Amino acid sequence: MPKRPFVNRLNDLSRKDWLLFQKSWFVHNPPRRSEDVLLHPAKFPETLCAEFIGFFTKQGETVLDPMMGTGSALVAALEMGRNAIGVELMPKYAEIAEQRLRNAQPPLGQAPRHRVICDDARNLAAYDIGEVDYVLTSPPYWDMLRMKGWETQKTRAEKGLDVHYSDDERDVGNIDDYARFLEELVSIYRVAAAFLRPRRYLTTIVKNVKKGGTIYPLAWDLGRRVGEFLTLKDERIWCQDNQRLAPYGMGNAWVSNTMHHYCLQFRKE
Protein backbone atom coordinates (compact mmCIF):
# COMPACT_ATOMS: atom_id res chain seq x y z
CA MET A 1 0.00 0.00 0.00
CA PRO A 2 1.47 3.42 -0.95
CA LYS A 3 2.31 5.77 1.86
CA ARG A 4 -0.40 8.38 2.41
CA PRO A 5 0.88 11.88 1.59
CA PHE A 6 1.23 14.32 4.46
CA VAL A 7 -1.50 16.97 4.24
CA ASN A 8 -0.88 19.88 6.60
CA ARG A 9 -4.00 21.98 7.07
CA LEU A 10 -2.78 23.94 10.10
CA ASN A 11 0.68 25.32 9.27
CA ASP A 12 3.60 25.31 6.83
CA LEU A 13 5.86 23.02 8.87
CA SER A 14 7.46 19.77 7.83
CA ARG A 15 6.68 16.52 9.65
CA LYS A 16 9.92 16.84 11.63
CA ASP A 17 9.28 20.42 12.77
CA TRP A 18 5.68 19.55 13.64
CA LEU A 19 6.88 16.67 15.82
CA LEU A 20 9.50 18.79 17.62
CA PHE A 21 6.82 21.32 18.65
CA GLN A 22 4.77 18.55 20.26
CA LYS A 23 7.21 18.19 23.14
CA SER A 24 5.33 19.18 26.30
CA TRP A 25 8.17 21.30 27.71
CA PHE A 26 10.91 23.44 26.22
CA VAL A 27 13.72 25.75 27.29
CA HIS A 28 13.66 29.26 25.86
CA ASN A 29 15.93 32.02 27.14
CA PRO A 30 14.98 35.24 25.32
CA PRO A 31 17.73 37.45 23.90
CA ARG A 32 18.41 40.84 25.44
CA ARG A 33 15.61 43.34 24.88
CA SER A 34 16.14 46.20 22.45
CA GLU A 35 16.20 49.78 23.71
CA ASP A 36 12.85 50.72 22.18
CA VAL A 37 10.93 48.26 24.34
CA LEU A 38 12.85 48.37 27.61
CA LEU A 39 10.26 50.85 28.91
CA HIS A 40 7.64 48.08 29.13
CA PRO A 41 8.03 46.11 32.40
CA ALA A 42 6.97 42.70 31.07
CA LYS A 43 7.91 42.32 27.43
CA PHE A 44 6.76 39.26 25.48
CA PRO A 45 9.79 37.80 23.57
CA GLU A 46 9.38 37.83 19.77
CA THR A 47 11.43 34.65 19.44
CA LEU A 48 8.91 32.78 21.59
CA CYS A 49 5.96 34.28 19.70
CA ALA A 50 7.47 33.15 16.41
CA GLU A 51 7.54 29.50 17.49
CA PHE A 52 3.82 29.49 18.33
CA ILE A 53 2.77 31.56 15.32
CA GLY A 54 4.75 29.21 13.08
CA PHE A 55 2.86 26.22 14.41
CA PHE A 56 -0.69 27.57 14.61
CA THR A 57 -0.88 29.55 11.35
CA LYS A 58 0.06 29.58 7.70
CA GLN A 59 1.53 32.53 5.80
CA GLY A 60 -1.11 35.10 4.92
CA GLU A 61 -3.32 34.30 7.91
CA THR A 62 -4.13 36.75 10.71
CA VAL A 63 -2.88 36.87 14.31
CA LEU A 64 -4.59 38.83 17.10
CA ASP A 65 -3.10 39.92 20.42
CA PRO A 66 -5.74 41.65 22.60
CA MET A 67 -3.13 42.74 25.18
CA MET A 68 -0.21 43.52 22.90
CA GLY A 69 2.02 45.78 25.04
CA THR A 70 4.80 46.95 22.72
CA GLY A 71 3.70 44.59 19.96
CA SER A 72 6.06 41.63 20.19
CA ALA A 73 3.53 39.08 18.92
CA LEU A 74 2.57 41.39 16.06
CA VAL A 75 6.19 42.00 15.02
CA ALA A 76 6.81 38.25 14.99
CA ALA A 77 3.65 37.75 12.93
CA LEU A 78 4.60 40.34 10.29
CA GLU A 79 8.13 39.02 9.98
CA MET A 80 6.68 35.55 9.34
CA GLY A 81 4.31 36.78 6.63
CA ARG A 82 1.16 36.88 8.76
CA ASN A 83 -1.25 39.78 9.15
CA ALA A 84 -1.34 41.24 12.65
CA ILE A 85 -3.91 43.00 14.84
CA GLY A 86 -3.23 44.24 18.35
CA VAL A 87 -5.02 46.09 21.13
CA GLU A 88 -3.24 48.14 23.80
CA LEU A 89 -4.74 50.33 26.51
CA MET A 90 -1.79 52.66 27.03
CA PRO A 91 -1.00 55.15 24.21
CA LYS A 92 2.75 55.16 24.91
CA TYR A 93 3.02 51.41 24.38
CA ALA A 94 0.69 51.50 21.36
CA GLU A 95 2.92 54.17 19.78
CA ILE A 96 6.04 52.05 20.35
CA ALA A 97 4.25 49.05 18.83
CA GLU A 98 3.19 51.04 15.77
CA GLN A 99 6.74 52.21 15.14
CA ARG A 100 8.14 48.72 15.58
CA LEU A 101 5.59 47.32 13.16
CA ARG A 102 6.49 49.93 10.56
CA ASN A 103 10.12 48.85 10.90
CA ALA A 104 9.33 45.12 10.74
CA GLN A 105 10.84 43.13 7.87
CA PRO A 106 8.38 40.64 6.37
CA PRO A 107 9.55 37.88 4.01
CA LEU A 108 10.70 39.06 0.59
CA GLY A 109 7.82 39.64 -1.78
CA GLN A 110 5.17 39.71 0.96
CA ALA A 111 3.29 42.69 2.37
CA PRO A 112 1.29 41.55 5.40
CA ARG A 113 -1.03 44.11 6.98
CA HIS A 114 -1.12 45.29 10.57
CA ARG A 115 -3.54 47.25 12.71
CA VAL A 116 -2.95 48.79 16.14
CA ILE A 117 -6.01 49.65 18.24
CA CYS A 118 -5.40 51.88 21.27
CA ASP A 119 -8.34 51.06 23.53
CA ASP A 120 -9.54 48.81 26.33
CA ALA A 121 -9.47 45.23 25.00
CA ARG A 122 -12.96 44.72 26.39
CA ASN A 123 -14.17 47.16 23.71
CA LEU A 124 -12.78 45.10 20.83
CA ALA A 125 -16.28 44.07 19.74
CA ALA A 126 -16.86 47.69 18.65
CA TYR A 127 -14.18 47.34 15.95
CA ASP A 128 -14.67 45.70 12.58
CA ILE A 129 -11.59 43.49 12.45
CA GLY A 130 -13.17 40.45 10.82
CA GLU A 131 -12.30 36.86 11.71
CA VAL A 132 -8.79 35.93 12.84
CA ASP A 133 -6.90 32.66 12.53
CA TYR A 134 -4.99 32.70 15.81
CA VAL A 135 -4.99 34.56 19.11
CA LEU A 136 -1.67 34.77 20.98
CA THR A 137 -1.34 36.78 24.16
CA SER A 138 0.07 36.97 27.66
CA PRO A 139 -1.90 38.72 30.41
CA PRO A 140 -0.74 40.78 33.37
CA TYR A 141 0.25 38.45 36.19
CA TRP A 142 -2.39 40.05 38.44
CA ASP A 143 -1.01 43.12 40.27
CA MET A 144 2.37 41.53 41.02
CA LEU A 145 4.29 44.36 39.33
CA ARG A 146 3.04 46.60 42.15
CA MET A 147 4.34 44.34 44.89
CA LYS A 148 7.33 45.58 46.87
CA GLY A 149 10.54 43.95 45.70
CA TRP A 150 8.98 42.44 42.57
CA GLU A 151 11.71 41.38 40.17
CA THR A 152 14.06 44.30 39.42
CA GLN A 153 11.80 47.21 40.41
CA LYS A 154 14.53 49.20 42.13
CA THR A 155 16.94 48.89 39.22
CA ARG A 156 14.27 49.81 36.68
CA ALA A 157 13.13 52.82 38.74
CA GLU A 158 16.71 54.08 38.96
CA LYS A 159 16.90 53.95 35.14
CA GLY A 160 13.61 55.81 34.73
CA LEU A 161 11.84 52.73 33.31
CA ASP A 162 8.28 51.69 34.09
CA VAL A 163 7.87 49.31 37.02
CA HIS A 164 4.18 48.66 36.36
CA TYR A 165 1.92 49.00 33.34
CA SER A 166 -0.07 52.12 34.20
CA ASP A 167 -2.16 53.99 36.77
CA ASP A 168 -5.28 53.67 34.61
CA GLU A 169 -8.25 52.28 36.54
CA ARG A 170 -9.23 50.25 33.44
CA ASP A 171 -5.92 48.37 33.58
CA VAL A 172 -6.64 44.87 34.92
CA GLY A 173 -3.08 44.81 36.29
CA ASN A 174 -4.20 47.38 38.88
CA ILE A 175 -7.00 45.24 40.35
CA ASP A 176 -5.96 44.00 43.80
CA ASP A 177 -8.86 41.58 44.32
CA TYR A 178 -7.96 38.27 42.70
CA ALA A 179 -11.51 37.10 41.97
CA ARG A 180 -12.41 40.37 40.27
CA PHE A 181 -9.12 40.40 38.36
CA LEU A 182 -9.84 36.91 37.06
CA GLU A 183 -13.37 37.85 35.96
CA GLU A 184 -12.17 40.93 34.06
CA LEU A 185 -9.36 38.98 32.43
CA VAL A 186 -11.70 36.21 31.32
CA SER A 187 -14.00 38.82 29.79
CA ILE A 188 -11.12 39.93 27.54
CA TYR A 189 -10.50 36.37 26.37
CA ARG A 190 -14.21 35.93 25.70
CA VAL A 191 -14.28 39.01 23.44
CA ALA A 192 -11.15 37.87 21.57
CA ALA A 193 -12.55 34.35 21.14
CA ALA A 194 -15.61 35.75 19.37
CA PHE A 195 -13.36 36.78 16.45
CA LEU A 196 -11.60 33.43 16.20
CA ARG A 197 -12.42 31.19 13.25
CA PRO A 198 -13.93 27.77 14.05
CA ARG A 199 -11.39 25.07 14.90
CA ARG A 200 -8.60 27.60 15.31
CA TYR A 201 -6.52 28.20 18.41
CA LEU A 202 -5.94 30.68 21.21
CA THR A 203 -2.68 30.48 23.16
CA THR A 204 -2.15 32.28 26.44
CA ILE A 205 1.24 32.32 28.15
CA VAL A 206 0.86 32.71 31.90
CA LYS A 207 2.10 31.46 35.24
CA ASN A 208 0.78 30.99 38.73
CA VAL A 209 1.65 33.82 41.11
CA LYS A 210 2.76 34.04 44.73
CA LYS A 211 1.44 36.82 46.94
CA GLY A 212 1.48 37.22 50.72
CA GLY A 213 2.78 33.72 51.27
CA THR A 214 0.01 32.14 49.15
CA ILE A 215 0.11 30.80 45.62
CA TYR A 216 -2.73 31.85 43.36
CA PRO A 217 -3.23 29.35 40.50
CA LEU A 218 -3.74 31.91 37.74
CA ALA A 219 -2.75 29.53 34.93
CA TRP A 220 -5.03 26.78 36.21
CA ASP A 221 -7.90 29.18 36.84
CA LEU A 222 -7.61 30.53 33.30
CA GLY A 223 -7.57 26.98 31.98
CA ARG A 224 -10.82 26.28 33.81
CA ARG A 225 -12.61 29.57 33.10
CA VAL A 226 -11.58 30.09 29.46
CA GLY A 227 -12.36 26.39 29.04
CA GLU A 228 -16.02 27.28 29.59
CA PHE A 229 -16.22 28.77 26.07
CA LEU A 230 -13.13 27.36 24.33
CA THR A 231 -11.82 23.80 24.60
CA LEU A 232 -8.56 23.47 26.54
CA LYS A 233 -6.56 21.15 24.31
CA ASP A 234 -3.11 21.06 25.85
CA GLU A 235 -0.27 22.80 27.63
CA ARG A 236 3.40 23.35 26.97
CA ILE A 237 5.74 24.30 29.80
CA TRP A 238 8.18 27.11 29.00
CA CYS A 239 11.29 26.74 31.16
CA GLN A 240 13.94 29.40 31.71
CA ASP A 241 17.25 28.11 33.03
CA ASN A 242 19.34 31.28 32.89
CA GLN A 243 17.85 33.18 35.84
CA ARG A 244 19.68 33.81 39.08
CA LEU A 245 18.47 31.82 42.09
CA ALA A 246 17.32 33.73 45.18
CA PRO A 247 17.37 32.25 48.72
CA TYR A 248 13.66 32.73 49.42
CA GLY A 249 12.69 31.35 52.85
CA MET A 250 16.08 29.70 53.32
CA GLY A 251 16.35 27.94 56.67
CA ASN A 252 12.71 28.58 57.45
CA ALA A 253 10.15 27.73 54.76
CA TRP A 254 9.73 26.30 51.28
CA VAL A 255 9.52 29.01 48.62
CA SER A 256 10.45 28.06 45.07
CA ASN A 257 12.18 30.10 42.40
CA THR A 258 9.51 30.07 39.68
CA MET A 259 11.22 29.72 36.32
CA HIS A 260 8.46 28.28 34.19
CA HIS A 261 5.32 29.49 32.43
CA TYR A 262 2.28 27.62 31.14
CA CYS A 263 1.49 27.95 27.44
CA LEU A 264 -2.16 26.94 27.29
CA GLN A 265 -3.73 25.98 23.95
CA PHE A 266 -7.48 26.41 23.53
CA ARG A 267 -9.50 25.62 20.41
CA LYS A 268 -12.79 27.04 19.19
CA GLU A 269 -14.84 23.96 18.41
CB atoms within 10 A of CB 206: 21
**What does pTM read for this prediction?**
0.89
For the cut 80, the answer to whether the pLDDT of residue 252 exceeds it is yes
Does the residue 22 lie in any domain? no
Does the residue 18 lie in any domain? no
Does the residue 28 lie in any domain? no
Does the residue 7 lie in any domain? no
Q: What is the dihedral of CA 73, 79, 84, 90, to 10 degrees?
A: 50
Does the residue 162 lie in any domain? yes
For the cut 50, the answer to whether the pLDDT of residue 40 exceeds it is no
Provide the residue range defining the domain that includes 153.
34-267
- Tell me the per-residue pLDDT of 168-195, one tens digit each, with 9 for 90 and over: 678 888 888 999 999 999 999 999 999 9
**What sign does the CA torsion over 8, 13, 15, 17 have?**
negative
For the cut 50, the answer to whether the pLDDT of residue 164 exceeds it is no
Does the residue 14 lie in any domain? no
What are the E-state strand segments in 82-145? Answer: 83-88, 114-118, 132-137
**Cα dist. 196→114, 130, 183, 260 in Å?**
17, 9, 20, 27
Q: How many domains is the chain partitioned into structurally? A: 1
Does the residue 29 lie in any domain? no
Question: What whole-number distance in Å separates Cα of residue 113 and Cα of residue 109?
Answer: 13
DSSP 256: -
In CATH, what number is assigned to the domain containing residue 230? Answer: 3.40.50.150
Task: Report residue 43's pLDDT band, with 50, 70 and 90 as the boundaries.
Answer: low
For the cut 70, the answer to whether the pLDDT of residue 163 exceeds it is no
Does the residue 125 lie in any domain? yes
